[in-house]
Amino acid sequence: MELTSLGSNIAFFSRSFQTEQENSFTRTPIRLSELLTMTTFKQISQIMSEQSSTPNQIELFGELYQRHLEQLNDPIEWNQLTSPPAESILNYDKLDSVSADETRSLLSELAVCRLNGGLGTSMGCVGPKSAIEVKNGQSILDLIVSQIQSLNTKYGVNVPLVLMNSFNTDTDTEKIIKKYNGRLPITTFLQNQFPRLRKDSLLPLSAEKYGVQSFYPPGHGDFYQSIAKTGILDRLLEQGKKYLFIANADNLGASVDVKILNLMKQKAIPFIMEVTPKTRADVKGGTLIKSDNHSLRLLEIAQVPREYQETFKSVKKFKIFNTNNIWIDLFELKKKLENNALHLDVIVNQKTVNHLPVIQLETALGSGINNFEGSMAVQVPRIRFVPIKKTDDLLLVQSNLFLFKDGILMKNPDRQFEGLPLIRLGENFQSVEDYQQRIPSIPDILELDLLTVVGNVYFGDNMTLRGNVILVCESGGLHLPDQSLIENKVMTGQIKLGEL
C-alpha cells in the first residue's frame, strides 16, 4: 500500500539523493535526518505489507513518518525555550474540596485507562510488568483493580477499567485478568506495532531474521489512535462517560483524584497533565515548556540536542516534570480525532537489536497537551508519582515508607522527612530473583536518606538503615547480621558485629 499523502515527496527525495552524492564527494558525514529523507515510504510500506502489517498500521506509520519529515525542517531552538507561565500550572493544594454527593456524580462520568504495554524484563521477569508482586502477595495489577473496585463499592458507581496492551503483553494480560471475573469488568485494547528501522538504510528490520524484535510499540502517544480505531472511545461515550484518567500501569502513586476531576468539569478544561517537582531521581523525565502560541508543550529528553541534555537534566532551567498522569475530556478528544486535528511531536528513539543500531519513531501521550485549547497542568504531591522501573523502586514501595489502603499508595505518616530516600542497588540486585535472595526481609528505612549498594552484599533479617548508608563489596561477600542497625556509615569488604 502506498500513501498518496506522501507522493508529493518524490521530488524532494530525488533532491536529497543528489545532496547525498555531494556529501559523499566531499566526505562530509551524512546526518540521520538526511538519510531519512532519502528513503521513500513506498519501500517501507511494501516491506510492512510483506511482514503482514495491516493497511491501518501502514497508514498510521506513514503519518508518523511524514510528521517526522516535517519536524526536520522545524528543529528545537534551545535558547528560545522558556518555562510555562505560572498561571498555566495550578497548585493541587488550592483545588476545591468535593462532597460525597459531588464525588458520586463525578465518578459516574469517569473511566480509567492504565497503559499496560511494558514488560518486566529490566528486572529479570517474564511477562507484563503489571504482574510483578509488590506487597502482601499483591501484584501491580491487583492493586489497580482494588482501587477501582473500592471506588465503585463505596460510591455505588461503575467506573470502568480499560487497559492498553502492547503486542508484548496482550496474550499474558488476557489470561491474568480472568481471575477478576465477577469483581470488576475490564476492557482491553491493543496498541499498534510498527517496524524498527535500520539506522544505516532506514528500512525495516527483516522479520524473518529478527522475529518479534523487528517490531516495537510506538510509545504511549499511540493511545489516541488506538482507542479510537478499536472502538473503545465510542463505547465509553455510549456508556455516558465524559472523562478519562490515564496513567502508566507501573505508577503505584496514580489513582483517581476527584479534586482534579472536579476542576476539569467546573472549568471545562479539555486536557490536564499532572506534574511534580523534579528531584535527583527524575533527571530524564519530560518537562513542560511554553510553545510559540503560548500554549503548553511537552519536551522529552530525546528531543533535546545532545549538547544541552545535561542542562535539561538539572533543576535550574526546568523545575517540574511530567508524571504521565493525564485527564482528558472524551468529547473533545473525539472531535480532535474526527477533524484529524491531533498532531503529536515525533520522538526518534535509538536502540540496538543484536548489536545492530536501529531507530524507533514514537510519540508521547503528554504531547497532546498543546493540541487542546485551554489545557492546564496541576502540580501534584510527589506521592502521585511512584513508578516501578527497577528493583531500587521495588525496595522503596515494599518498605515501611508506604502503606496501601484499598490499593492506593499512601506515605507513612511516621516518615519525618519531606522527600524519599535515594536508593541505588548494584548489578547483583537488578533481577527480582537476586533482589529477593539478597534482601530476604525489607529493612526499616523510615529515617534513610541515601542507600548505595555495590557488589556481593547480603542483607540480614529485620535490619534498620538510617541516614546515608554505602555498602561495597568488591571481592568475597558482605553479609550483614540480622537485626543490625546501620546509620551514616560506609562499609566495605567483610565486617564484624562490633563494626556496626
Nearest alpha carbon to residue 448 among 472, 480, 473, 414: 414
pLDDT higher than threshold 60 for residue 166: yes
Lowest-confidence segment of 32-46, 318-332, 361-375 by average pLDDT? 32-46
Mean pLDDT value across residues 142-151: 96
Task: Please give the backbone phi and psi of residue 326, each rounded to the nearest 5 degrees, phi first.
Answer: -125, 140
- Residues above pLDDT 90, as percent of the chain: 71
Tell me, yes or no, if 389 is annotated catalytic. Answer: yes
pLDDT of res. 292: 67
Residue among 286, 291, 459, 455 nearest 370 (CA): 291
48: pLDDT strictly greater than 70: yes
pLDDT band at 207 (very low <50, low <70, confident <90, very high): very high
What pLDDT score was predicted for residue 30?
A: 45
Please give the helix or strand (H or E) that residue 234 lies within, else none: helix 232-238
- pLDDT of 418 reads 80
Q: Answer yes or no: is pLDDT of 23 > 50.
A: no
**What confidence score (pLDDT) does residue 498 get?**
46
CATH classification (class only), 391-499:
mainly beta
3-state secondary structure 91-152: EHHHCCCCCHHHHHHHHCCEEEEEEECCECHHHCCCCEHHHCEEECCEEHHHHHHHHHHHHH
- Measure the CA–CA gap between 166 and 185, rounded to whole angstroms: 20
Give the per-residue pLDDT at 438.
96
Q: In whole angstroms, what is the distance from residue 215 CA to residue 196 CA?
A: 5
**Cα maximum dimension of the chain:** 78
Structure confidence at residue 175 (pLDDT): 96
Confidence of residue 2 (pLDDT cuts 50, 70, 90): very low
Residue 65 has pLDDT above 80, yes or no: yes
Residue with cell 513518518: 65
Backbone angles phi, psi at 196, to 5 degrees: -70, 140
Instruction: Provide the 8-state DSSP code for 311.
Output: H
Per-residue pLDDT at 7 exceeds 70: no
State the pLDDT confidence band at 471, using cuts at 50, 70 and 90: very high
Which CATH superfamily includes the segment(s) 78-384?
Answer: Spore Coat Polysaccharide Biosynthesis Protein SpsA; Chain A (3.90.550.10)
Q: Which spans in 364-409 are helix H?
A: 391-398
CA angle 342, 41, 47 (to 5 degrees): 115
Least confident of 26-35, 108-117, 121-130, 443-452: 26-35
Picking from 363, 367, 347, the residue whose alpha carbon sits closest to that of residue 297 is: 367
* Model confidence band, residue 352 (pLDDT cutoffs 50, 70, 90): very high
On the question of pLDDT at 285 being above 80, the answer is: yes
Q: Does 320 or 4 have the greater pLDDT score?
A: 320
Task: Kindly report which listed range (233-247, 267-281, 327-341) carries the lowest average pLDDT score.
Answer: 267-281
Cell of 257: 483524584
- 129 versus 304: which is more confidently predicted? 129
Q: Supply the pLDDT for residue 13.
A: 36
Residue pLDDT, tens place only, 402-419 = 999 999 999 999 998 888
Angle at which helices 140-155 and 100-107 cross, to 10°: 120
Domain boundaries, the chain: 4-72, 78-384, 391-499
Q: Is the pLDDT of residue 36 over 90?
A: no
**Which strand (E) or helix (H) includes residue 328?**
strand 320-329
pLDDT over 50 (residue 21): no
pLDDT-derived band at 278 (thresholds 50, 70, 90) equals confident
Residue range 430-438: mean pLDDT, rounded: 95
- Could you give the angle at the alpha carbon of 137 between the alpha carbons of 131 and 139, nearest 5°? 20
Report the amino acid identity of residue 170.
Answer: D
Looking at residue 294, what is its pLDDT? 61
Measured at the alpha carbon of residue 209, what is the angle toward residues 203 and 215, in degrees to the nearest 5?
55
Q: What pLDDT, on a 0 to 100 scale, did the predictor assign at position 41?
A: 82
- Mean pLDDT calculated for residue range 222-241: 97
Is the pLDDT at 304 greater than 90, yes or no? no
Q: Do 141 and 180 form a contact (C-beta atoms < 8 A)?
A: no
Q: CA-to-CA distance for 202 and 40, rounded, in angstroms?
A: 10
Closest CA to 42 of 71, 72, 8: 8
- Integer angstrom CA distances of residue 12 from 8, 16, 40: 8, 6, 10
Would you state the pLDDT for residue 182?
85
Active-site choice (42, 278, 290, 389)? 389
Distance, CA of 148 to CA of 184 (rounded, Å): 8
Q: Residue 126: its pLDDT value, please?
A: 86
pLDDT at 211: 93
Q: What is the pLDDT of residue 10?
A: 32
CA distances from 428 to 95, 416, 437, 453 (A): 45, 31, 10, 9
Predicted structure pTM score: 0.89
Mean pLDDT of 310-333: 92
- Is 70 exceeded by the pLDDT of residue 364? yes
Q: How far is CA 479 from the centre of its chain?
A: 36
Mean pLDDT, range 210-219, rounded to an integer: 94
Mean pLDDT for 434-442 is 96
pLDDT computed for residue 315 by the predictor? 81
- Fill in the DSSP letter of residue 83: P
CA angle in degrees (0–180, nearest 5) for 137-138-141: 155
Q: What is the mean pLDDT of the chain?
A: 88
DSSP state of 486: E
The x, y and z cell numbers of residue 301, run together, are: 529528553
- In this prediction, residue 244 has a pLDDT band, given cuts at 50, 70 and 90, of very high
Task: Enter the DSSP assignment of 346.
Answer: P
pLDDT at 291 over 80: no
396: confidence class by pLDDT, cuts 50, 70, 90: very high
| Pairwise pLDDT comparison (474 vs 248), residue with the higher score | 248
